[in-house]
Amino acid sequence: MVTPMDPTALGFLLAENRRMPMHVGGLQLFEPPPDAGEDYVREMYQQMRATDEVAPLFRKRPYRSVKTGGQYVWIDDDEFDIDYHVRHNALPQPGRPRELMELVSHLHSTRMARERPLWEWHLIEGLRDGRVAMYAKLHHALVDGVSANRLLQSVLTTDPDQRGMPAPWAARPRARAARAQEQAERSLASLPLSVLRQALGVAVDAAGLPKALYTTLSRSLRNQTSALALYAPRTILNQKITGARRFAAQDWPVERLRAIGKASGTTINDVVLAMCSGAMRDYLLALDELPETSLISMVPVGLRAKESQVASAEGGNAVGSVMVQLGTQLADPLDRLQAVHRSMRDGKEALASMTPMQILAMSALGQVPAVLPTMLKLGGVPKPPYNLIISNVPGPRVTHYFNGARLVGNYPLSIPIDGMALNITCTSYDGRMDFGLTGCRRSVPHLQRILTHLDDALVELEQAVGV
């Protein structure tokens, strides 16, 4: 079965190289159920790989030949081998979170072979606290980050006693997972890029697409001042990257963030950004690399359908983006929080006043952050438009389970690119705010130290507002 490839998916394939693999990831931590036996993980693995029928999304692979005119299309992999995609891993001793992060960093570093469907799923045992990890790797040409997260969640349940649950890649007619799979496909196909393409009548052509987009973006962005501070300082985060990745993850109680927001008249999202601001300030100070002017973060924000005019009928992932001044030049944590709050508010107001075409352009920048700068060659400009990307994606609020195993952590992995070596993605789950930091291992030295700085920043904010 041959299906055409959406230009957005094509863009991710064309933008990819060994230094910039274009896949997103998800790390999930589970506590096995009380009745789990010695063979619990092995049995789970056997059950997952014994999937009868694999959904089309997970069977298709990119293909091009003379017959397809040299263009990429999707074809069904007629030699599909589940054992290539679903793997059982273990951690070296002593099985600390550190060993888990090392393994996941490594798995997230390697580019996927295009001769096979573009996904991997790893079951990981050997954590000394008895927890079990799952790392999922999905190419951005298959799904976007939000859909990937939704897909992984779609197979979970709130019922701790439910068993016999299917894998995310199982074909399941009329089930929630099937809908999530469909939406993932549709959501990618309905991304701003393709809307833009239609709006502009751009030919589906790898060469023409970036130029047309660039023109549109430039035109839209020139009129913006408050929301679009395209003059970020140059930092170590904004250089050419290597193919090696480092991933670090940690979570904090949402309640602590909410208390700070309440006491200071800011939102939880503002507090997340202020934590990142304080952490990046401390991190860059320690490296003697803090710029004199504020770091600017690109922050994707949700748009209501009537604002965006690009939301799909299913209420898909229409997002715009705001360029937030993080206030990293300010020594006082409260000053930073207020700077973030103001910048975010101004940005959202500006977004609300933008024309649909401007929102489309912004949406493109927000929705496909990983590929656009590459395609627009923004990575090579002396002044980066922003210094890093911080996303905050809402997740489920109540405890979820997979075959009786309790989900206790859910950390997103993202895509660093040239000129944008660090990506922070947060997702809330069950009263915790889970932070996932994905960076180039060489450009962002000692990335894991940012976790300590995040913790310090949270404590500082609490002290500053007196909670």
The number of angstroms, rounded, from the C-alpha of 160 to the middle of its chain's C-alpha atoms is 28
Site membership for a second copy, residue 329 (CB under 8 A): no
CB closer to a second copy out of 99 and 270: 99
> Shortest CA distance to 51 belongs to which of 14, 13, 102, 86?
86
Given the rule CB under 8 A, which of 110-118, 185-193, 216-224, 333-341 is the region that contacts a second copy?
A: 110-118
The number of angstroms, rounded, from the C-alpha of 157 to the middle of its chain's C-alpha atoms is 23
Query: How is residue 342 written in tokens?
Result: 């103001």
Shortest reach from residue 126's CB to a second copy, in Å: 6
Which of 43, 53, 115, 332 is close enough to bind a second copy by CB under 8 A?
115
Given the rule CB under 8 A, which of 104-112, 273-281, 343-351, 355-363 is the region that contacts a second copy?
A: 104-112
Shortest reach from residue 70's CB to a second copy, in Å: 16
Site membership for a second copy, residue 49 (CB under 8 A): no
Window 64 to 83, contacts with a second copy (CB under 8 A): 79, 81, 83
Beta strand 388-393 with 401-402: parallel, antiparallel or unpaired? unpaired
Please name the residues in contact with 309: beta carbons below 8 A apart, sequence gap of 6 or more.
356, 359
Which of 89, 239, 399, 452 is close enough to bind a second copy by CB under 8 A?
89
CB closer to a second copy out of 17 and 162: 17
CB closer to a second copy out of 45 and 429: 45
Residue 242-271 contact track with a second copy, rule CB under 8 A, x = bound: xxx---------------------------
Which of 35, 37, 93, 201 is close enough to bind a second copy by CB under 8 A?
93
Given the rule CB under 8 A, which of 38-46, 137-145, 150-158, 228-236 is the region that contacts a second copy?
A: 38-46
106 is catalytic: no
Site membership for a second copy, residue 348 (CB under 8 A): no
Of 122, 139, 140, 453, the active-site residue reads 140
Which of 35, 38, 52, 129 is close enough to bind a second copy by CB under 8 A?
38
Contact yes or no for 423/389 (Cβ under 8 A) = yes
Given the rule CB under 8 A, which of 40-48, 210-218, 231-239, 351-359 is the region that contacts a second copy?
A: 40-48
Please name the residues in contact with 245: beta carbons below 8 A apart, sequence gap of 6 or more.
105, 106, 108, 109, 416, 438, 439, 440, 441
CB closer to a second copy out of 241 and 311: 241
Q: How many residues bind a second copy (CB under 8 A)?
A: 33
Beta strand 86-90 with 119-125: parallel, antiparallel or unpaired? parallel
Shortest reach from residue 31's CB to a second copy, in Å: 17
CB closer to a second copy out of 432 and 441: 441
CA torsion 192-390-58-90 (nearest 10°) is: 170
Site membership for a second copy, residue 292 (CB under 8 A): no
Which of 31, 102, 455, 462 is close enough to bind a second copy by CB under 8 A?
102
CB closer to a second copy out of 93 and 198: 93
Site membership for a second copy, residue 106 (CB under 8 A): yes
Residue 118-147 contact track with a second copy, rule CB under 8 A, x = bound: -------xx---------------------
Which of 18, 211, 222, 383 is close enough to bind a second copy by CB under 8 A?
18
> Shortest CA distance to 414 belongs to which of 453, 372, 455, 368?
368
Site membership for a second copy, residue 42 (CB under 8 A): yes
Contact yes or no for 364/196 (Cβ under 8 A) = yes
Binding site for a second copy (CB under 8 A): 17-19, 38, 41-42, 45, 79, 81, 83-84, 87-94, 102, 106, 109-111, 113, 115-116, 125-126, 242-244, 441
Catalytic residues: 140
